[in-house]
Amino acid sequence: MAKPTLIVIGAGVAGLTCALELAERGIAVEVVERGRALGEGSCSWMAGGMLAPWCERATTEPEVADWGAPSIDWWAERFPGTVRRGSLVVTQPRDVPDLTRFAQRTERFEWVDAERLAGLEPDLAGRFRRALYFPDEAHLDPRRALAALAARLQERGVAIRFGVEAAPSDVPADIVVDCRGLAARDALPDLRGVRGEMVVVRAPDISLQRPVRLLHPRIPLYIVPRADGLFMIGATMIESERRGPVSVRSAVELLNAAYTLHPAFGEAEIVELGADLRPAFPDNLPAVRQKSDRVLHANGLFRHGFLLAPALARRVAESVLSMLQSETPHEDLPQRRRA
Ligand SMILES: Cc1cc2nc3c(=O)[nH]c(=O)nc-3n(C[C@H](O)[C@H](O)[C@H](O)COP(=O)(O)OP(=O)(O)OC[C@H]3O[C@@H](n4cnc5c(N)ncnc54)[C@H](O)[C@@H]3O)c2cc1C
């Protein structure tokens, strides 16, 4: 009997993690991507790369932390650039009650005083009286992580065909996994775009070992350190589907907040300004949906692409295995927790 053919559409974080999970389970798979190179036209290219389930627990559904926590090991096993040094949350003295409220809504953190903070991040010495330290969190550079996944797929003989625009109904495969992000709205009408904007700066005089969130009344800003003195400053979250460049207001707010974190950011060079639309379902949780006997849609990663893609991919792989065994697959996955 001929081997069943399986095609993943989209080489963003959803598509590449799904393809790798499938390949690791011995399923022959191929990826098609309409961009001409990795990252082109992909929301995943704009991400900060924080793997911060317990910080997210303070402001999102509990599923995000439950599904996201195991992804730190998933990335560390597949991408050596995964940095496990935790993350910090700080605030201006006038906003300390916000930090207390944030702490009340989550777990797996330590309160640290100014002295401990200076030990963790010498560049923040004397700048904040208290902070929350989440020692078990991690971060990665999304662009390097995507490249590492592509290389792993290549090692396993999985082809990624760039410059191929595909529609799930027309793809000549036994099973299609649709990971087109927001472009899948033709099949998933409740998918919406949530605009996010970010700035990358080069600040060789600043050294941060881990992501730092600055609680802020309007923008929950974060700064993620990358190699070569680069820092990603993100991200706005705007209920708008406007594409196009970063607005002056957003750039000013992001850069101002970075300056608040450390005045040396005032001397940094702006390397990149970027914006994209995060694909989100109404409950802001990802899902795997099956709408025909051969097409699975994996989508809705919202602002948790790197955090939740491994859980989404695992669900896709389980669904594919059950389709191959001709069992009735699940309708909508991951399942919401039962109350
Ligand atoms: C500013 C910003 C900051 C963010 N920060 C974080 C963060 O810190 N941590 C985190 O986990 N997440 C973050 N996110 C969210 C994350 O980027 C998204 O959740 C994630 O990228 C969505 O991945 P995806 O694979 O579903 O979509 P995409 O990355 O958009 O991938 C879809 C792919 O499908 C391709 N495609 C579309 N149509 C077709 C077609 N017809 N044929 C072939 N290919 C097609 C596209 O070209 C694209 O490459 C951030 C997002 C933004 C915008």
Residue with more model confidence, 238 or 326: 238
- Residue 75 CA, ligand 1 centroid: distance in Å: 17
Q: Does residue 16 line the site of ligand 1, with CB under 6 A? A: no
**Atom 47 of ligand 1: nearest residue by CA position:** 41
Atom of ligand 1 at shortest range from CA of 180: 34
State the pLDDT at residue 168. Answer: 95
pLDDT at position 297 over 90: yes
- pLDDT tens digits, residue range 271-288? 999 999 999 999 999 999
Average pLDDT of the residues in 172-199: 97
**Atom 50 of ligand 1: nearest residue by CA position:** 47
Average pLDDT of the residues in 198-212: 96
pLDDT at position 329 over 80: no
- Residue 15 CA, ligand 1 centroid: distance in Å: 9
Under 8 Å CB-to-CB from 337, ≥6 apart: which residues? Answer: 62, 63, 66
Cβ burial of 330 (10 Å; 0-12, 13-18, 19+) is middle
- Residue 47 CA, ligand 1 centroid: distance in Å: 8
Average pLDDT of the residues in 188-205: 97
State the pLDDT at residue 325. Answer: 86
Residue 216 — very low, low, confident or very high, per pLDDT cuts 50/70/90? confident
- Residue 300 CA, ligand 1 centroid: distance in Å: 10
The Cα–Cα gap between 85 and 74 comes to 16
Average pLDDT of the residues in 231-250: 93
State the pLDDT at residue 337. Answer: 37
- pLDDT tens digits, residue range 114-164? 999 999 999 999 999 999 999 999 999 999 999 999 999 999 999 999 999
- Residue 207 CA, ligand 1 centroid: distance in Å: 28
Q: Does residue 53 line the site of ligand 1, with CB under 6 A? A: no
Q: Does residue 213 line the site of ligand 1, with CB under 6 A? A: no
pLDDT at position 218 over 80: no
State the pLDDT at residue 267. Answer: 95
State the pLDDT at residue 4. Answer: 66
State the pLDDT at residue 228. Answer: 94
State the pLDDT at residue 95. Answer: 86
Q: Does the predicted model carry a pTM greater than 0.85?
A: yes
Residue 190 — very low, low, confident or very high, per pLDDT cuts 50/70/90? very high
State the pLDDT at residue 2. Answer: 56
51-65, 71-85, 173-187, 204-218: least confidently modelled range:
204-218
- Residue 304 CA, ligand 1 centroid: distance in Å: 10
Average pLDDT of the residues in 181-197: 97
pLDDT at position 335 over 70: no
State the pLDDT at residue 68. Answer: 98
β-pairing, 30-33 with 6-9? parallel
State the pLDDT at residue 248. Answer: 96
Atom of ligand 1 at shortest range from CA of 298: 26
- Residue 96 CA, ligand 1 centroid: distance in Å: 34
**Atom 20 of ligand 1: nearest residue by CA position:** 305
pLDDT at position 217 over 80: no
State the pLDDT at residue 331. Answer: 47
Average pLDDT of the residues in 59-84: 97
Percent of the chain surpassing pLDDT 70: 94
Q: Does residue 49 line the site of ligand 1, with CB under 6 A? A: yes
β-pairing, 269-280 with 212-214? unpaired
Number of H helices, E strands in the chain: 9, 17
pLDDT at position 23 over 90: yes
The Cα–Cα gap between 133 and 199 comes to 24
State the pLDDT at residue 237. Answer: 87
pLDDT at position 192 over 90: yes
Q: Does residue 235 line the site of ligand 1, with CB under 6 A? A: yes
Helix %, strand %, coil % for the chain, to 5?
35, 25, 40
